[in-house]
Amino acid sequence: MRLLHTMIRVGHLQRSIDFYVNVLGMTLLRQKDYPEGRFTLAFLGYGDEKENTAIELTHNWDTETYEQGTGFGHLAIEVDDVYRATNKIREQGGEIIRDAGPMNAGSTIIAFVKDPDGYEIELIGKKD
């Protein structure tokens, strides 16, 4: 068994695709409209879905916003250098909600950013 993807609902599909591709460096792997259901699915990730987990962005054509709720925590992405990654994200207009630094009660370097729909993404420094 393996984890295939995580689905999140987004209000403006292209804005979200732009964020994940241009700010976080993912690739748009595939996208398909479902006119009868009035929704579009877009899958993004850092490599082929046969080998890597993806994010599924679901855009319901008649819904522009969603409540975040209290059950969902965050997505986590490993990066080579958290300080450099947050600087690049900030330069591209991304929202940093916790600057890079050691995690509370630990030494792992982390940071948090928000995507255009308010989903939190944790950046975690690569372990040697």
Query: What's residue 69's pLDDT?
Result: 84
C-alpha span between 27 and 17 (Å, rounded): 9
66 falls within a domain: no
Both tokens of 3, joined, read: 């984890």
99 falls within a domain: yes
Q: Find the mean pLDDT for residues 112-120.
A: 95
Domain with 30, as residue range(s), is 5-60
| Cβ atoms within 10 Å, residue 26 | 19
65 falls within a domain: no
pTM for the full model? 0.88
For residues 114, 119, 22 and 56, what is the CA-based torsion angle, rounded to 10 degrees? 170
Q: Find the mean pLDDT for residues 102-123.
A: 93
- Give yes or no: residues 12 and 54 share one domain: yes
Query: What's residue 44's pLDDT?
Result: 98
Q: What is the pLDDT of residues 14-54, one digit of tens each?
A: 999 999 999 999 999 999 999 999 999 999 999 999 999 99
Query: What's residue 7's pLDDT?
Result: 95
Q: Find the mean pLDDT for residues 81-100.
A: 96
C-alpha span between 102 and 128 (Å, rounded): 16
C-alpha span between 6 and 71 (Å, rounded): 14
Query: What's residue 105's pLDDT?
Result: 84
Q: What is the 3-state secondary structure (H, E, C) of 97-120?
A: EEEEEECCCCCCEEEEEECCCCCE
Q: Report residue 1's pLDDT band, with 50, 70 and 90 as the boundaries.
A: confident
Q: Which CATH number is 55's domain given?
A: 3.10.180.10
* Known catalytic membership, residue 122: yes
Q: How many domains does the chain have?
A: 2
What's at 37, amino acid-wise? G
> 90 near 112, Cβ under 8 Å?
no
What's at 106, amino acid-wise? G
- Give yes or no: residues 82 and 50 share one domain: no
Q: Report residue 5's pLDDT band, with 50, 70 and 90 as the boundaries.
A: very high
121 falls within a domain: yes
14 falls within a domain: yes
Q: Report residue 77's pLDDT band, with 50, 70 and 90 as the boundaries.
A: very high
Of 56, 95, 120, 122, catalytic: 122
67 falls within a domain: no
